[in-house]
């Protein structure tokens, strides 16, 4: 087979930018096509009236994985993308009046409405959690997740950890922590999955271990600085980024991807194509039906999707009294399925972020940014999201926040699943594409059955999150160059 000299990439999120940067570094001509007016996809930000809002991703976890991605494309991450650790990650208030606050490292403070917590016992439980799970985290982030998916590698290197991956997060937290309020706060960290603790696989506990070891971070200037920094590697080596350029179709001839049909440009020929949109869109929409492999079409049509999201973002003129980045008013762990009940009658369980606690520069001087995701009906028809429906949910969210903080609102920004679909090209508005319950071997493959067509992004291994999606781009580019 002739060597690949040119590659067309669909999508300018972190996976596409990482793949493009590595390919360009190896002398391959890269053209990247982004439908929106800016790069970043789910890791972009939007400035409205001086307030910087996240379009998708809220923070960075696993910074070592991102460091590796940057090194692969020839960038020194600390130099081009300085990070600020979130030293006050979360405060949780329980119905009984207990308050649990996570600080930096293993610092956990429990304020009991009645009685006191056994601090020595809690410290031991935290250390026991880290002793049990941190070796698995290191194995995954330093070896398993940064290499192509391999059952033999997992078995050879991770067999000692496999027994504890059985069960659920609820099972594991009951095993680890004796205090009900502490368990509720711990499980609250993992509700971003869109699943209650009893439906999350036990391995999701690694999200907690990440918080207490590596920590969560924000790039200075906001999440949009991640794709901005990654794009430097692609552009510096002659790669091209085309904004406001929508791809209509992947062109296949004689069983091989030969390029793209692009709005306003017609046929763009390339030796290979990388699609960063979800596998559901690649095999369900971007390929002619006759060209889409039957197995991939079945995967796309039967995909177990993640939850869709509704976001409310407020720019405040005032500085709110918020001690932590994330604030949760939660029931006990056993009842946290209630957090996902639609807020038609008001927001009962209030969960929101205040990124200006860590990065005040995201708002004008003296101001604040609040971001929250009130629960909505998951089977609500996506095209029925009207302005009136959005305004009704916004009003309920603001009412709930106003019970906790004084709100001098300067800017409001609301996004329904319809906007997430239309603006970020998320299939049916599903924020992660595939559900966190989907096993890695059921993700879409990097090397597709169509020669010259590669798939990357959060519906491929190693899954969702900024660091993982960017790593997927690197693995895909390496697979392409090895072909």
- Phi/psi at 415 (5° precision): -130, 125
The verdict on pTM exceeding 0.85 is yes
Chain mean position to CA 371: 15
Cα separation, 81 vs 60, in Å, equals: 12
- Phi/psi at 151 (5° precision): -65, -40
Q: In degrees, to the nearest 5, what angle opens at C-alpha 227 toward C-alphas 222 and 233?
A: 135
Write the CB contacts of 156 (distance below 8 Å, at least 6 apart in sequence). none
Can you give the pLDDT of all 483 residues of the chain as single tens digits? Answer: 578 999 999 999 999 999 999 999 999 999 999 999 999 999 999 999 999 999 999 999 999 999 999 999 999 999 999 999 999 999 999 999 999 999 999 999 999 999 889 999 999 999 999 999 999 999 999 999 999 999 999 999 999 999 999 899 999 999 999 999 999 999 999 999 999 999 999 999 999 999 999 999 999 999 999 999 999 999 999 999 999 999 999 999 999 999 999 999 999 999 999 999 999 999 999 999 999 999 999 999 999 999 999 999 999 999 999 889 999 999 999 999 999 999 988 999 999 999 999 999 999 999 999 999 999 998 999 999 999 999 999 999 999 999 999 999 999 999 999 999 999 999 999 999 999 989 999 999 999 999 999 999 999 999 889 999 999 999 999 999 998
Cα separation, 153 vs 443, in Å, equals: 18
How does 85-97 read in b/e, with b if 16+ C-beta sit within 10 Å?
ebbbbbbbbbeee
Cα distances from 77 to residues 138, 139, 198, 317, 475, in angstroms, run 20, 22, 37, 33, 19
Chain mean position to CA 475: 18
Residue 21: the pLDDT is 98
Residue 106: the pLDDT is 94
Cα separation, 260 vs 252, in Å, equals: 9
Handedness of CA 233, 236, 237, 242 (dihedral sign): positive
């Amino acid at each position: 087979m002739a060597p690949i000299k040119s590659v067309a990439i669909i999508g300018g999120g972190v996976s596409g930018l990482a793949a493009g940067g590595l390919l360009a570094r190896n002398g391959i001509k890269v053209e990247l096509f982004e439908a929106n007016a800016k790069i970043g996809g789910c890791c972009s930000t939007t400035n409205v009236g001086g307030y910087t809002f996240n379009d998708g991703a809220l923070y960075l976890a696993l910074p070592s994985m991102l460091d590796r991605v940057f090194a692969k494309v020839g960038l020194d991450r600390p130099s081009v993308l300085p990070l600020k650790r979130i030293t006050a990650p979360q405060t949780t208030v329980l119905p009984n009046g207990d308050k649990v606050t996570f600080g930096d490292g293993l610092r956990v403070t429990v304020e009991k409405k009645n009685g006191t917590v056994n601090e020595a016992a809690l410290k031991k439980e935290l250390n026991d959690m880290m002793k049990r799970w941190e070796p698995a985290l290191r194995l995954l982030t330093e070896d398993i997740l940064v290499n192509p998916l391999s059952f033999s590698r997992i078995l050879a290197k991770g067999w000692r950890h496999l027994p504890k991956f059985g069960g659920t997060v609820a099972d594991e937290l009951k095993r680890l922590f004796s205090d009900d309020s502490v368990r509720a706060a711990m499980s609250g960290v993992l509700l971003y999955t869109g699943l209650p603790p009893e439906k999350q696989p036990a391995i999701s506990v690694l999200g907690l271990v990440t918080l207490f070891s590596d920590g969560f971070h924000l790039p200075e200037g906001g999440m949009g600085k991640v794709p901005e920094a990654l794009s430097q590697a692609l552009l510096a080596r002659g790669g091209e980024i085309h904004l406001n350029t929508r791809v209509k179709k992947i062109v296949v001839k004689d069983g091989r991807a030969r390029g793209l049909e692009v709005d306003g440009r017609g046929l763009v020929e390339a030796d290979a194509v990388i699609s960063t949109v979800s596998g559901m869109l690649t095999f369900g929409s971007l390929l002619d039906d006759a060209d889409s492999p039957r197995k991939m079409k079945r995967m796309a049509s039967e995909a177990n999707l993640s939850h869709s999201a509704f976001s409310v973002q407020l720019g405040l003129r005032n500085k709110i009294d918020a001690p932590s980045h994330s604030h949760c008013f939660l029931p006990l762990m056993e009842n946290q399925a209630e957090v996902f009940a639609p807020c038609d009658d008001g927001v009962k369980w209030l969960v929101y972020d205040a990124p200006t606690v860590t990065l005040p520069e995201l708002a004008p001087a003296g101001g604040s940014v609040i971001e929250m995701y009130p629960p909505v009906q998951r089977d609500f028809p996506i095209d029925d999201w009207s302005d009136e429906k959005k305004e009704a949910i916004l009003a309920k969210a603001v009412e709930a926040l106003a019970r906790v903080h004084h709100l001098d609102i300067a800017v409001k920004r609301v996004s329904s699943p319809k906007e997430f679909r239309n603006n970020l090209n998320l299939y049916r508005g599903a924020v992660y594409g595939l559900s966190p319950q989907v096993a890695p071997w059921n993700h879409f493959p990097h090397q597709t059955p169509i020669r010259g067509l590669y798939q990357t992004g959060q519906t491929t291994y190693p899954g969702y999150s900024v660091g993982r999606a960017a790593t997927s781009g690197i693995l895909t580019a390496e697979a392409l160059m090895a072909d």
